[in-house]
Structure 1
Amino acid sequence: MNRRDFLRSSAILAGVGAGAGALSACRTLRSDEEAPVRLDAAAFHASRRLVDTSFGRIASVERGKGPAALFLHGFPLNGFQWRGSLERLSRDRRCLAPDFMGLGYTEVSEQQDLSPQAQADMLAAFLDALSIRDVDLVANDSGGTIAQLFMVRHPGRVRTMLLTNCDVHENSPPPQMRNSIAAARAGTYDQKLARHLADRAYARSSSGIGGSAYVDPANFSDDAIDYYLAPLVSTPQRRAQLNRHLAAFEPNPLLAIEPALRRSRVSTRMLWGTADPLFPVIWADWLDRTLPQSRGVRRVEGGKLFWPEERPDLLAEEAQRLWTS
């Protein structure tokens, strides 16, 4: 599958319906401020840089100055998932959206460990390379697995944590992912993503990512499909890494860290879509009971797995509240 031209300037849909206000600023600009640059596919592509670490060259997009905030994407997405949040929050934080190893545009060797634990350690090396000591974490989906592991494996490096629908405790990975993980182990999951690129109606159907993970399947736009999925099937090596990345989420890496979560002093807030069959709200409530410094759960009515991409306004509002609490 040939990549499309990522440098074209067609728009990316980033909100749920016309009322989402997805491309507007989240507060009134001062007279001495400039409006933020909209991060469509072309702008995001132009902003991407590769950061050298011992794990490989980590692709990342950065916006803003000040204390760092680290945005951890879901599967099989990349940092582009957070474009709307970066637009809104770059006035408050130095916002970084890296791509995990085996996904997006990050470059690693064929031998590189792609397990969630290795991903967490990669983030520490990534921050070290940028001379960043600690961060506010924002995470979604499998990125939430890695966020929890990072907090436990690298104590003192997390100021706050904002978790959206993601793996939690026994629900990691969720049972609905068993067939996909089996396909990844067999080396064939990449074929499903190649079908998304070839058949956009399928990509937005209930069997595809658009229909299953977005409230409005149209928000899984052609630009987003290309930007997320084209690099994953671009070469045999990338296809193999995609399969290894997914397969590495078994066995469950989160059961062992429950005692550490119960000792955590990190202020954490959960924002949870209520229409996500993979990660029911009961798991947000489990985190609320388990984390000593929980700041509670906000239910996002009707939200599916990738609601943070569709509702960056809500995500930014809650992030700002957590950071200033």
Structure 2
Amino acid sequence: MVDHETWSERQTTATVTVDGRDLEVAYHEAGPDGDDPPVVFLHGIPTWSFLWRDVVPTIATERRTIAPDLLGYGNSAMTDDFDRSIRAQEVMLESLLAELDLETVSLVAHDIGGGVALRFAAHNPDAVGKLVLSNAVCYDSWPVEFVTNLGLPKTADLDRSALEGRLESAFVDGAYGAADPEFVDGMKAPWLTDEGHVSLVRNAVATNTNHTTELDYGAIDAETLLLWGEDDVMQPYSYAERLAEDLERAELAPLSDAYHWVPEDRSEAYRDRLREFLAGRNT
């Protein structure tokens, strides 16, 4: 298991074009090239690609993996002059895949990363072979109060210790069991600079429900696994059930004893079920 500093050191960057602006995206890449499409991991708010620290290494033993930091997150661009909505993140993903010369991928996505993945899969059905959604924003399920509060002007005025306390609470109290201190420290790290603090506020402001209510979910053709933390109150399991009804090729895969941070709460079960799905094995 790597710490967040090591994870950052192993990232590389690419330049993407979003709404006419060239922006730097940091991403973690591991695993061999092969005949199977690479697996792209998309995180949510207020996390970054380090969310996948316990999942990527297992998948990377067999598949090429790419875990980007969304724009405004982690080690990607944080300047205060671009859109961070999931519409813009979808454009980022499309540009990154073109930069890496990838025509087909599997997507594994959590939280607002799930909204990005849903948009991309609906608009590019031939580009997504398999889709895994975990406690993903969809329909009108978001933004939640915690994220809305992060976007209030008073959050921008918080002193650093108060902001850190709020984030600490989200990741400690939001864990199903005892939170791993390295996970908590890693999740907080990008936001504890002046630039990161402002970027977090801008990211929260950019949450726009219209970007998932406008989707034609029936356009999504990818084989889909709804690998969902069953005890989540922020993105409840009822939304996974709704997705299962609306997506042509979707399978429900609830994970008990897991809240919103399901890749962390149930990392072993999560990566085992993911590995089976990507390999085409059903339980």
TM range (shorter): 0.7 to 0.9
Pairing of 1:305-324 with structure 2 (within 5 A)? 305-324=260-279
- How much has 1:142 moved relative to structure 2? 1.5
Specify the alignment match of 2:90 in structure 1: 120
Identical residues among aligned pairs (%): 23
Pairing of 1:15-94 with structure 2 (within 5 A)? 38-54=1-17, 55-66=22-33, 67-94=37-64
Specify the alignment match of 1:280 in structure 2: 236
The 8 Å contact of residues 173 and 252 in structure 1, kept in 2 or not, is answered as no
- Please give the TM-score of this superposition, normalised by the length of structure 1: 0.77
Letter of the structure 2 residue corresponding to residue 314 of structure 1: A
Where 2:40 maps in the other structure, the secondary structure is strand
- How much has 1:150 moved relative to structure 2? 1.6
Deviation string for 1:84-112 (max 9, x for gaps)? 11111102211111111111110254221
Specify the alignment match of 2:217 in structure 1: 261
Q: Which runs of 5+ in 2 are unaligned?
A: none
Q: Which runs of 5+ in 1 are unaligned?
A: 1-37
The 8 Å contact of residues 139 and 209 in structure 2, kept in 1 or not, is answered as no
Deviation string for 1:220-266 (max 9, x for gaps)? x1x3333332332312x432222111111134311110xx2113211
The counterpart of 1:210, out of the listed 171, 177, 200, is 171
The 8 Å contact of residues 227 and 255 in structure 2, kept in 1 or not, is answered as yes
2:206 counterpart of 1:248: yes
The 8 Å contact of residues 172 and 254 in structure 1, kept in 2 or not, is answered as no
Letter of the structure 2 residue corresponding to residue 61 of structure 1: H
The 8 Å contact of residues 272 and 281 in structure 1, kept in 2 or not, is answered as yes
Bigger relative contact order (CA 8 A; separation at least 6): 1
Query: What is the aligned-residue RMSD (CA, Å)?
Result: 2.2
- Runs of 4+ residues deviating >6 angstroms: none
The 8 Å contact of residues 56 and 109 in structure 1, kept in 2 or not, is answered as no
Where 2:211 maps in the other structure, the secondary structure is coil
Specify the alignment match of 2:188 in structure 1: 229
Q: Provide the C-alpha distance between the structure 2 equivalents of 1:194 and 1:144, rounded to a whole number of angstroms.
A: 30
Letter of the structure 1 residue corresponding to residue 232 of structure 2: D
CA gap of 1:44–1:100, structure 2 versus 1, over 3 A, is same
- How much has 1:277 moved relative to structure 2? 0.8
- Please give the TM-score of this superposition, normalised by the length of structure 2: 0.88
Structure number with greater Rg is 1
- How much has 1:193 moved relative to structure 2? 7.4
- How much has 1:280 moved relative to structure 2? 1.4
Q: Provide the C-alpha distance between the structure 2 equivalents of 1:145 and 1:139, rounded to a whole number of angstroms.
A: 8
Q: Size of the alignment, in residue pairs? A: 273
The counterpart of 1:110, out of the listed 80, 83, 103, is 80
